[in-house]
Amino acid sequence: MNIFREITSEGTLFKDERVFRPDYVPAELLFREKHISEIARSVRPAAHGKQPQNLLLYGPSGTGKTSCARFVLRELSEYSQRAQPIYLNCWEYSSRHMVLHALLEGIGMMAPKRGLSSNEIMEKVVGGLRQSGKIPILVLDEVDRLFAASSEEQKVLYDLGRMPEIHGLQIGLVGITNNRDVLVRADARTKSSLMQGEIEFSKYSPQELKGILSERAKLGYCDGALEKEVVPLCAAISAKNGGDARVALALLWKAGLEADGKGAKKVLVEHVKAVQEKCIQEAKTLGIRKEEELAEMERRIVKIIAAEGGSIESGELYEQLGAAMGEERAVRLHIAKMVKSGVLEEKETNDKGRKKRILGIRGPK
Ligand SMILES: Nc1ncnc2c1ncn2[C@@H]1O[C@H](COP(=O)(O)OP(=O)(O)OP(=O)(O)O)[C@@H](O)[C@H]1O
Ligand SMILES: [Mg+2]
């Protein structure tokens, strides 16, 4: 037999592996009907030329916040020409300038990435909306990122929230976060732009995870490819690790790859066990971006500075944190947040003409 035919016909237990990829949005989101209809009810006025209600979706990782928001946007774009759904993840669009620029593009207007000030972009957005009569529904996923940097960045929420009042234009804002506290601590004007309505997403129960996995298995695996204990085991492991559907799906997916790799006829419990640690670890690495891990980062930063006698040069701190902290930009934003909240203080010194930034632990006043 041709070597390629052999690989494609016999090499896999998957029917369609794409359904396990992170960007896949299922046609149906189980156990979230109420959440979806609440979001839909809030944004629906946009389809009829009216002001939507702004919303905050919050809850732990892997509870379906992003999927539900994307699902509603997809339905909305089929239902209405008037509403203009726009999805942004604030990890990618982390400044006021970037958010406004993406909004401008989202309403179909082109603008150079550089050269225009945020205020000028805002003017163009206003002009564009007046002309088109469209009402954007702007989903800002991981919106707490806008609070990690300077207060300038979060001002975008205030700018957008006031559009109806100042310009007589409608816009719907949907913020998504794991960390509702960041918004609760925000100033009243920012808060009022985003927290007109709130929807909580709670962890999935083992039973719910089992349901989600069974549905996905039907789409992704050939009939009879899974030993019957596999789905309950994946559900039980992920229920213990935060009730996170992302972990559950990763287990189910990676176990299949493991089985394929071993040339097995079925996905077995042993395949799940073989990938368990790695899947949980990966979810944690992703979660480095999330609040618990951020708190962990703060502890680590404070520990390093304390070991240096209470202050350290910024470059040296980055070096000591090393790869463990991931992207340097994220570290910088995080340190800026700690300086702002008063945990650290920052001084500039001049060492033979070379400027140095010294970070210190702030002592009691
Ligand atoms: N109710 C559901 N039915 C089917 N699949 C789901 C459901 N909820 C979540 N999923 C799946 O779980 C994964 C994680 O969901 P999602 O990205 O929406 O979580 P999230 O709440 O946004 O998490 P995070 O806070 O980490 O961003 C996705 O792959 C999604 O397809
Ligand atoms: Mg999400």
Q: Is the domain of 222 the same as that of 132?
A: no
DSSP H or E segment with residue 358: strand 354-361
Q: Is the domain of 270 the same as that of 312?
A: no
Residue that the structure tokens 């916040």 belong to: 65
Q: Is the domain of 179 the same as that of 88?
A: yes
Domain C-terminal end among 148, 177, 200: 200
Residue at 308 is within a domain: yes
Domain C-terminal end among 259, 287, 315: 287
Q: Is the domain of 57 the same as that of 193?
A: yes
pLDDT in tens, 236-250: 999 999 999 999 999
Cα 320 to middle of ligand 1, angstroms: 35
Q: Which ligand is nearest to the CA of 23?
A: 1
Q: Is the domain of 114 the same as that of 225?
A: no
Whether the per-residue pLDDT at 8 is higher than 50: the answer is no
DSSP, collapsed to helix, strand or coil, labels residue 344 as strand
Cα 246 to middle of ligand 2, angstroms: 10
Contacts of 79 (CB under 8 A, 6+ apart): 47
Whether the per-residue pLDDT at 291 is higher than 60: the answer is no
Select from 90, 70, 107 the least CA-distant residue to 156.
90
pLDDT in tens, 166-187: 999 999 999 999 888 888 878 8
CB 320 within 8 A of CB 304: yes
**Residue 278: which CATH number?**
1.10.8.60
> How far apart (Å, rounded) are the C-alpha atoms in residues 51 and 164?
8
Residue 213 banded pLDDT, cuts 50, 70, 90: very high
Residue at 79 is within a domain: yes
Please report, rounded to a whole number, the percentage of residues in the chain having pLDDT higher than 70: 89
* The pLDDT value given to residue 287: 61
Select from 50, 211, 209 the least CA-distant residue to 137.
50
DSSP, collapsed to helix, strand or coil, labels residue 355 as strand
Alpha carbon nearest to ligand 1 atom 18, residue:
64
Q: Is the domain of 185 the same as that of 217?
A: no
**Residue 321: which CATH number?**
1.10.10.10
What are φ and ψ of residue 162, in 5° steps? -90, 0
Cα 67 to middle of ligand 1, angstroms: 5
DSSP H or E segment with residue 314: helix 314-321
Domain C-terminal end among 252, 272, 287: 287
pLDDT in tens, 293-342: 556 677 778 878 877 878 888 888 877 776 445 556 667 777 887 787 67
Cα 175 to middle of ligand 2, angstroms: 11
> Which atom of ligand 1 is nearest the CA belonging to 248?
12
Residue at 56 is within a domain: yes
> Which atom of ligand 1 is nearest the CA belonging to 25?
31
Alpha carbon nearest to ligand 1 atom 26, residue:
61
Alpha carbon nearest to ligand 1 atom 13, residue:
246
Q: Is the domain of 69 the same as that of 108?
A: yes
Which of 79-83, 198-202, 351-355 is predicted with the least confidence, judged by mean pLDDT?
A: 351-355
Alpha carbon nearest to ligand 1 atom 3, residue:
29
Residue at 280 is within a domain: yes
* The pLDDT value given to residue 4: 53
Contacts of 12 (CB under 8 A, 6+ apart): 260
Q: Is the domain of 72 the same as that of 180?
A: yes
DSSP H or E segment with residue 135: strand 135-141
Residue at 300 is within a domain: yes
Total structural domains within the chain: 3
> Which atom of ligand 1 is nearest the CA belonging to 142?
27
Two structure tokens written together for 181: 């506290």
Residues having CB within 6 Å of any atom of ligand 1: 22, 24, 26, 29-32, 61-67, 178, 201, 212, 245-246, 249
> How far apart (Å, rounded) are the C-alpha atoms in residues 2 and 190?
63
Cα 362 to middle of ligand 1, angstroms: 40
Q: Is the domain of 62 the same as that of 166?
A: yes
Residue at 133 is within a domain: yes
pTM, two decimals, is 0.78
> Which atom of ligand 1 is nearest the CA belonging to 31?
1
Over residues 118-144, the mean pLDDT reads 94
Q: Is the domain of 119 the same as that of 189?
A: yes
Q: Which ligand is nearest to the CA of 59?
A: 1
Q: Which ligand is nearest to the CA of 34?
A: 1
Triad 164, 170, 175: Cα angle to 5°: 95
What are the residues facing 198 on neighbouring strands?
56
> How far apart (Å, rounded) are the C-alpha atoms in residues 266 and 46?
49
Residue at 331 is within a domain: yes
Q: Is the domain of 295 the same as that of 257?
A: no
Residue at 22 is within a domain: no
**Residue 40: which CATH number?**
3.40.50.300
What is the overall mean pLDDT for the chain?
Answer: 87
Q: Is the domain of 163 the same as that of 236?
A: no
Range of 336's domain?
290-361
Whether the per-residue pLDDT at 85 is higher than 80: the answer is yes
> How far apart (Å, rounded) are the C-alpha atoms in residues 197 and 42?
8
Q: Which ligand is nearest to the CA of 244?
A: 1
